[in-house]
Amino acid sequence: MSQGPGKAKRGIPSKSENFNEWYPFMVEAAELVDKRYPIKGMDVWRPYGWKTMKLIDALTHAEMERTHHEEVNFPLLIPENLLEKENALVARLKKAREEGVDPDDLRDEEEEGGFKKEVYWVKHAGDNELDIPMFLRPTSETAMYTMFPLWIRSHKDLPLKVYQMVNTFRYETKQTRSFIRVREIHFFEAHTAHADEDSASQQIEQDLEIVDNLMHQLCLPVIKAKRPVWDTFPGAWYTIGIDAVMPNGRTLQVASCHHYRDQWAKAFDISYENLEAEQQHCHQTTYGMSERLLGAVVGMHGDENGLIMPPAVAPFQVVICPMIRKNSDVDTVAVAEEMATKLRRHGLRVKVDARDIRAGQKYYDWEIKGVPLRLDVGPRDIAQGTAFAARRTGGKEPVSMDDLPNACMTILDEISDELRLRSSAHMNDVLQPLPAFTEIDGNWTMEGEVEDGKIYQIPFDGTDAHAEAIERATGMTFLGDSTESYESNMPCHMSGNMTRRRVLLAKTY
């Protein structure tokens, strides 16, 4: 394997003209993954991709530690009978919703539902058929909530806040895409149990704050929307989806939070002794993210020449390219190594590219990989006490060797800001008002067309029938109610009722 940069030759598909070719080309050209593994939708993570993912994970670990979540690690395999508990719960909630009754008034029903059709099954081991089939976790609610009753006894054990980073599996039948839709998923899941609904609601607030912190580091603006009922996670009271917007205007759900109230706790008998010495069911939440975060980083920040890594997660934040001149008195490589040592001492991640190849080839390689800052050093630079800084976001300038670490850190901060500016500009650009709808005899017609690559927002306080009419006319999906509602009342796009609800519509991945 080439230890250094990619082997890709010129001929990168144009990102602006053909994002759908650029993306799959780039994840391999930048050596993030190798898609040639003989199972579709299961890529091999190569060192550069895995390092980036682990840097994203490190940000998450830090947020988990700050918010006092503890890391656990659950078995991958889940016995079938636990899934049946979940299915019964989901079926009951669905029925209650359809019949408009309190779910507590219904009993669990046997029904094929939930994840059952999307999981990989283990029914054999060695030469044996197993007594109880097991499946590869698509997510760990059922595994964890089987253990929670053993860990929670009294209010002193609450809140219980655990998380894990593990591989999960979905039997995807749709087209797979690296990081975006894969069959083995590098997954993060936090699960919490609380004494009451309020405390669980506060957890959701904290989750959204964590999302904000992470997205700031990844330089990605996101949409946070309370999903419509029909798109709520099975067993949840409500779901908040967090969507990044890709260059083609499609949204990519990169995270989600679920407030379960006490529905799961009732199904799995998770209760505690409250201060009045009574058994009371817990309220629970889940917060999930995945390698899609990397998919969003790749998709949003890259340009015609390759990736652009946000400095917070760039495996190499700085690459130093010493000019290799034979017959020169000046040992540029030694100077480059000294510079690297100095920068590393300040916590920067630095690579020295001392390969004896054309400078143009080096630049090309590191551009594809998206290293945010390149420092060129030749004999003349050294004589002048400077290095030549080239930002991956554009712009070149000499920097003084005297204050190199601070200069680099300042430039990296400016690069982060530039990435934030660009992605926010893109978000503003794609967010559009929806053409008006008119009703004749109960049929709704849209007065105009929706544009490809755009996301639409409307004040909305209509019925499910209104929503359906919009989805049918636009071919788009309701992302739900933005957590940032309108500042003052607006007339609903369909019913005209005054509302502050800001609903978003998009084509989704």
Q: What is the closest distance, in whole angstroms, from the C-beta atom of residue 45 to a copy of itself in the complex?
A: 4
Q: Are strands 279-281 and 271-273 parallel, antiparallel or unpaired?
A: antiparallel
Q: Position 444: which residue type?
A: W
Q: What is the closest distance, in whole angstroms, from the C-beta atom of residue 206 to a copy of itself in the complex?
A: 17
Q: What is the closest distance, in whole angstroms, from the C-beta atom of residue 36 to a copy of itself in the complex?
A: 6
- Residue from the set 110, 127, 276, 449 that interacts with a copy of itself by CB under 8 A: 127
Does position 486 interact with a copy of itself (CB under 8 A)? The reply is: no
Indicate the residue among 164 and 393 with the shorter CB distance to a copy of itself. 164
Contacts of the segment 240-244: beta carbons below 8 A, 24+ positions apart: 240/204, 240/208, 240/480, 240/483, 241/479, 241/480, 242/208, 242/211, 243/479, 243/506, 243/508, 244/220, 244/292, 244/296, 244/299, 244/300
Does position 160 interact with a copy of itself (CB under 8 A)? The reply is: yes
**Cα-only R_g, the chain:** 26
Stretch that binds a copy of itself, among 70-78, 305-313, 319-327, 490-498 (CB under 8 A): 70-78
Q: What is the closest distance, in whole angstroms, from the C-beta atom of residue 165 to a copy of itself in the complex?
A: 11
Number of residues that bind a copy of itself (CB under 8 A): 59
Indicate the residue among 160 and 255 with the shorter CB distance to a copy of itself. 160
Write down how long the chain is. Answer: 509
Tell me the CA end-to-end span of the chain in Å, nearest whole number.
32
CA separation (Å) from 336 to 270, 378, 400, 408?
59, 10, 14, 14
49 CB-near residues (< 8 Å, 6+ apart): 27, 30, 31, 32, 33, 294
CA separation (Å) from 288 to 85, 144, 165?
21, 14, 10
Does position 82 interact with a copy of itself (CB under 8 A)? The reply is: yes
Query: For the stretch 432-452, what's the b/e string if a residue is b when 16 or more beta carbons lie within 10 angstroms of its beta carbon?
Result: eebbebeeeeeebebeeebee
Indicate the residue among 150 and 277 with the shorter CB distance to a copy of itself. 150
Stretch that binds a copy of itself, among 64-72, 231-239, 276-284, 326-334 (CB under 8 A): 64-72
For residue 63 the two structure tokens come to 């947020």
Does position 75 interact with a copy of itself (CB under 8 A)? The reply is: yes
Stretch that binds a copy of itself, among 8-16, 124-132, 212-220, 467-475 (CB under 8 A): 124-132
Indicate the residue among 1 and 275 with the shorter CB distance to a copy of itself. 1
In 16-61, DSSP assigns E strands to 33-34, 44-45
Rounded Cα gap, residues 177 and 130, in angstroms: 33
Does position 74 interact with a copy of itself (CB under 8 A)? The reply is: yes
Site string for a copy of itself, 180-209 (x = CB under 8 A): ----x-x-----------------------
Indicate the residue among 62 and 122 with the shorter CB distance to a copy of itself. 122
Site string for a copy of itself, 43-62 (x = CB under 8 A): xxxxx--xx--x--------
Q: What is residue 65's three-state secondary structure?
A: helix
377, 322 contact by CB (below 8 A) = yes
For residue 219 the two structure tokens come to 């330089």
Q: What is the closest distance, in whole angstroms, from the C-beta atom of residue 127 to a copy of itself in the complex?
A: 6
Indicate the residue among 143 and 368 with the shorter CB distance to a copy of itself. 143
Does position 39 interact with a copy of itself (CB under 8 A)? The reply is: yes
Cβ neighbours, 10 Å, residue 240: 23
Does position 344 interact with a copy of itself (CB under 8 A)? The reply is: no
C-alpha 262, offset from chain centre: 27
Indicate the residue among 136 and 389 with the shorter CB distance to a copy of itself. 136
Query: For the stretch 63-87, what's the b/e string if a residue is b when 16 or more beta carbons lie within 10 angstroms of its beta carbon?
Result: bbeebebeeeebebebbbebbbbbb
- Residue from the set 84, 103, 171, 216 that interacts with a copy of itself by CB under 8 A: 171
Site string for a copy of itself, 135-154 (x = CB under 8 A): -x------x--xx--xxx--
Does position 121 interact with a copy of itself (CB under 8 A)? The reply is: yes
Cβ neighbours, 10 Å, residue 381: 21
Chain positions contacting a copy of itself, by CB under 8 A: 1-3, 34, 36-39, 42-47, 50-51, 54, 70-77, 79, 82, 116-128, 134, 136, 143, 146-147, 150-152, 156-157, 160, 162, 166-167, 169, 171, 173, 184, 186
